[in-house]
Amino acid sequence: MTSIADVLHGFPILSVVIFLPLVGALVVAFAPARWARLLGLATALLAWVASLVLAAGFQASAPGFQFVEQASWIPVFGIQYKLGVDGLSLALVVLTTTLTWISILASFRPIQARIKEYMVTFLILEVGMTGVFLALDTFLFYVFWEVVLVPMYLIIGIWGGSNRIYATIKFVLYTLVGSLLMLVAILATAFAYQAAHGGSWTGAFDFEVLRAYASTAGFGDTLQLLGFAALFLAFAIKVPMFPFHTWLPDAHVEAPTAGSVILAGVLLKLGGYGLIRFAIALYPDAAVTYAPLIIVLSLIAIIYGALVALVQPDLKKLVAYSSVSHMGFVTLGAFVFQAQALSGAILQMINHGLITGALFLLVGVIYERTHDRSIARMGGLAALTPTYAAIFGFFIFASAGLPGLSGFVGEFLTLVGTFAVNPWAAAVAAFVMILGAAYLLWMFQRIAFGEPSAFLLGIRDHLSDISAVEVLTLAPLGAMVVAFGFFPGLLLDLIRQPVADTLASVANAHAIAIDPAIVAIGIGIVVAVVVIRFLSLRPAAASTSVVPAEGAG
């Protein structure tokens, strides 16, 4: 009997997964506009099927990358078109393809203007996202990384809310600052490799070669420190880590529902993926050196994100800040360099994609009917739209890390792993179990419980319960949330090898000594900037936040 892997042997399945949406985008672009929706969905579904075929042919137990495709691209610099998949990227690719078709389906009703352009943009976005996860050449990785940027920029900017331009430009500029520095780091790394190999560019952009080099000979200390800092900044902005997170709430609030879903579901994962795959593997010594700082930032993000989420008046902002908090687990788990923690971090990425994606879909459902997202104006949805409220509640608890659902496993593994390395960090992070429950349940209580609000009663005629199509978009996510809650082994087996690979690259790493003076200067600059900002505040800029009528406890 021939297995799927045999059938796929020699077939460029990865390229198909990546570029199928591009072909679809071209078809959509030249087809009549009224077909755009269905063609877009069909393409996304095809890509999804392709990714599932890939998953079926994947052998989790085999080490290294599979289905590797390799072709010379820019031979002068040894830049290759090199793709490959391992468990980590496979999981994220399938997440991407799934969320893409769900998002497209969820856009059918909300997006009425320029539907053709929308579909084209969305499909190109998918090209970039899958490309990032599958690229094994650092240059190619960067190219795909940037390809993601533009469609998202357009999606927020064209189909977004009232303040969309501010949000989208902020998103792009913020991301671009990081990613361009990453480009410098990638080039510097390639050159360092080239210089160490007698001026031969062969392999200088090949991730596998670089990783092997990094874990044996290793790059120089200065390059590691600076290169890691650059990569870290790029990825931390994407994740987003405190204090680089402020683009996220703005982008989420303004983005259309599907944009938010992809943003939270996939784009943030790009950062986590980059950290785990590239930053740690290429600069292990620097990773170890910076780890304490990153752990502290992660902890701040976890707690701070939850605290800020607590008082957000806007549903999407709340979910956005919850993302900051949740993604803190990813960075925390990645940088304690412990198997369970890293596995947990990866799981957390997937779960966050599913759960937060679903939450944004749900916010979209209500926004579609009320054209409002303010928590204060909702109330009593459970009475008016019971099915909707029930589904919302399900994902609220999934987000709060209720055991039995997928979110729990990731968080707990992260915490267990962290505890083994640093109990205090785990203790601080675990505190979010309370805060998370607090902001989520408080929000849910305010929107779903009690008597229906006057606002909702006023538009009762439009306030239909969740529709079949909307349920269809949420059902796969819910199913996966349950499935991964009960059988996280499905993912854990998949990522076992990548986790081991990543940890192997830091196994022999040593911390680089940093001149305390530099550290002091760095801290001084940060403090100075904060102080200057503080002093430059006008007293008029007083807080406009909602004071909670009642809160936790």
Partner 1 sequence: MTWSDVVTMAPFAAGVALAMAVLVVDIVRPGARNPVLAVALGGLAVITVLTVVTGQAAATAFGGAYVVDGLTTFLDLVFIGIVAFTIVFAPDYLEPRGLPLAEFTIVLLFAMTGAMLISAAGDLLVLFIALELMVLPGYLLAGYHKSDGYSTEGAIKYFLLGSFSSAIFLFGLAFVWGLTGTTSISGIAQTLTGIASGSAALSPGLALGLAFMTTGVAFKIAAVPFHYWTPDAYQGSPTPVTGYLSVGPKVGAFALILRLFVGALYPLRSDWVQVVIVLALLTMSLGNLVALTQTNVKRMLAYSSIAHTGYMLVGLAAYGAGRQEGLEGLLYYGAAYSAMNLGAFAVIAALQRRAGVTSNLETFAGLGRREPWLGVLMTLFLLSLTGIPPTAGFFAKAYVILAAVQASQAGNAALGVLAVVAVLNAAAAAFYYLRVVVYMYMREPQGEQSPLTHGRLMWGGLAAATALTILFGIAPGTLLDIVIQAARAIGSPGAA
Partner 2 sequence: MSYDLLVPLIVALPLAGFVITAAIGKRLGRQAHWIPVGAVVISWLVAMVVVAAALTNAEPFGEAGFGVTLWQWIPAHGAAGSPDFIISAGFFVDHLSAVLLIVVTTIGMLVHVYSIGYMGHDPGYWRFFAYLNLFMVSMLILVLADSWLVLFVAWELVGLCSYLLIGFWYRKNSAALASKKAFIVNRVGDVGFALGIMAIFANTHTLNIRDSLGVLSSQTLVAFPVPVAIVALLVFAGAVGKSAQFPLHVWLPDAMEGPTPVSALIHAATMVNAGVYMVARANPLFAAAPEVMTFVAAIGIFTAILAASIAMTQTDIKRVLAYSTLSQLGYMFASLGVGAFSAAIFHLMTHGFFKGLLFLGSGSVIHAVHEEQDMRKMGGLAKKIPHTYWTMLIGAIAISGIPPLAGFFSKDEILGEAFKTGFYWVWAIGIVVAVMTAFYMFRLIGLTFWGESRVDKAVEPKIHESPRVMTVPLWLLAIPSLVLGAILSWPGPPLGPLFGQSGQTGLLAGWLEPVFKGAQEALGRSEAEFQLLGIDGGLLLISIAVAVAGLLVAWRLFGVDLGPIRGKAEPERVRALTARVPGLYRASVNKWWFDDLNHVLFVVIGGWVANGSAWFDRNIVDGIVNGIGSVTRRAGTDLARIQTGRVQNYALGIALGLLVMAGSYLVIVAR
Interface residues for partner 1 in 432-451 (CB under 8 A)?
none
Binding of partner 1 by 173 (CB under 8 A): yes
By beta-carbon proximity to partner 2, the closer residue of 202 and 445 is 445
Binding of partner 2 by 535 (CB under 8 A): no
By beta-carbon proximity to partner 2, the closer residue of 38 and 483 is 483
**Residues 125, 223, 297, 409: which binds partner 2 (CB under 8 A)?**
409
Q: Which does 467 bind (CB under 5 to 8 A by kind): partner 1, partner 2, none?
A: none
The token pair that represents 506 in the structure block: 């830091």
Binding of partner 1 by 465 (CB under 8 A): no
Q: Which of 428, 399, 427, 401 is nearest to 412 (CA)?
A: 401
Binding of partner 1 by 540 (CB under 8 A): no
Q: Please report how close the Cβ of residue 157 comes to partner 1 at its closest, in angstroms.
A: 5
**Residues 170, 220, 221, 514: which binds partner 2 (CB under 8 A)?**
170
Contacts of residue 256, defined as CB under 8 A and 6 or more positions apart, other chains included, come to 107, 110, 111, 155, 156, 159, 160, 364
| Amino acid, res. 403 | P
According to DSSP, the residues that pair with 74 across neighbouring strands are 79
Q: Which of 123, 134, 140 is nearest to 47 (CA)?
A: 123
| Amino acid, res. 198 | G
Q: Which of 148, 136, 213, 212 is nearest to 178 (CA)?
A: 148
Separation CA 102–CA 105 (nearest Å): 5
Within positions 413 to 442, which residues make up the interface with partner 2, using CB under 8 A? 413, 415-417, 419-420, 423, 426-427, 430-431, 433-434, 437-438, 441-442
By beta-carbon proximity to partner 1, the closer residue of 139 and 394 is 139
**b/e sequence 507-519, b meaning 16+ C-beta within 10 Å:** eebeebeeeeeee
- Interaction mask 189-228, partner 2, x per CB under 8 A: ----------------------------------------
- From residue 317, alpha-carbon distances to 249, 258, 433, 434 in Å are 5, 15, 19, 19
How many residues sit close enough to partner 1 to count as binding (CB under 8 A)? 37
Within positions 177 to 216, which residues make up the interface with partner 1, using CB under 8 A? 177, 180-181, 183-184, 187-188, 190-192, 195
In the block, residue with structure tokens 């890509």: 47
Contacts of residue 526, defined as CB under 8 A and 6 or more positions apart, other chains included, come to none
By beta-carbon proximity to partner 1, the closer residue of 157 and 485 is 157
Part of the chain binding partner 2 (CB under 8 A), chosen from 20-28, 39-47, 207-215, 529-537: 529-537
By beta-carbon proximity to partner 2, the closer residue of 311 and 514 is 311
In the block, residue with structure tokens 């196994």: 507
Binding of partner 1 by 172 (CB under 8 A): yes
Q: Which of 73, 76, 93 is nearest to 84 (CA)?
A: 93
List residues binding partner 1 (CB under 8 A): 73-77, 114, 117, 139, 142-143, 146-147, 149-150, 153-154, 157-158, 164-165, 168-169, 172-173, 176-177, 180-181, 183-184, 187-188, 190-192, 195, 223
